[in-house]
Amino acid sequence: MKPTKLFITVFCGMLLFPSLIKAQEEIIITKRQHPKSKDNILIINNKTLNDSTAILLFVENAPERFNAPQTPSFALMSKNNKYLMGIGGYVKGTVSMDFNGVIDNPAYFTTSDIQVNPSAGNDNLLQFNANESTLFYNLISTSDSKNKFGAYINMNFTGNVNTINIEDAYVTYGGFLLGRTSSLFTDASAIPPTIDGEGPNGLTYKTNQVLNYRGHFGKHFSTGIGLEMPSSDFTTSEYQRVSNQFIPDIPSYIQYSWGKGNNNHVRLSSIIRNVNYRNLIEDKNDIKTTYACQLSGLLSYKEKMVFYYQFAYGTGISTYIQDLSGLKLDFLPQIPKNQKDNKGELDYVNSMAYYAGLQYNFNPRTFVSCTFSQVDINVPENYDDTAIYKKAYYLATNFFWYATQNVQLGAEYLYGKKVNQNDEWGQANRIQVMVQYNF
Summarised one tens digit per residue, pLDDT across range 128-172 is 999 999 999 999 988 777 788 999 999 998 877 778 899 999 999
Nearest residue to 234 (alpha-carbon basis) of 130, 359, 164, 319? 319
Identify which of 252, 278, 251, 255 has the alpha carbon closest to the alpha carbon of residue 266: 255
Q: Report the pLDDT value the prediction gives residue 352, as an integer from 0 to 100.
A: 97
Cα angle 118, 195, 323; round to 5? 50
Give ∠ CA 87-156-375 in degrees, rounded to 5.
Answer: 125
pLDDT of residue 40: 58
Q: Within 13 Å of residue 277, how many CA atoms lie on the same side as its CB? A: 26
Per-residue pLDDT reduced to its tens digit, 335-348: 887 777 788 899 99
What are the tens digits of pLDDT across the range 292-332?
999 999 999 988 999 999 999 999 999 999 999 999 999 99
Q: Check whether 114 has a pLDDT greater than 60.
A: yes
The answer, yes or no, to whether residue 394 has pLDDT greater than 80, is yes
Phi, psi of 5 (to 5 degrees): -65, -40
Integer CA distances (angstroms), 378 to 215, 233, 236, in order: 36, 16, 18
Grade residue 284 by pLDDT with cuts at 50, 70 and 90.
very high
**What's the pLDDT score for residue 4?**
42
pLDDT above 80 (res 198) = yes
pLDDT at 69: 85
- Which segment of 20-34, 329-343, 353-367, 402-416 scores lowest on mean pLDDT? 20-34
* pLDDT-based confidence at residue 223 (cuts at 50, 70, 90): very high
Find the mean pLDDT for residues 409-429: 97
The residue count of the chain comes to: 439
End-to-end CA distance of the chain: 28
pLDDT digits (tens, 9 = 90+) for 63-105: 988 888 888 878 888 877 788 899 999 999 999 999 999 999 9
Sign (positive or negative) of CA dihedral 15, 19, 25, 26: positive
* Averaged pLDDT of the chain: 86
Q: What angle do CA 204, 208, 210 make, to 5 degrees?
A: 110
Q: Give the percent of the chain with pLDDT over 90.
A: 65
**Residues facing 76 on adjacent strands:** 44, 85
Is residue 423 exposed (0-12), middle (13-18) or buried (19+ Cβ within 10 Å)?
A: exposed
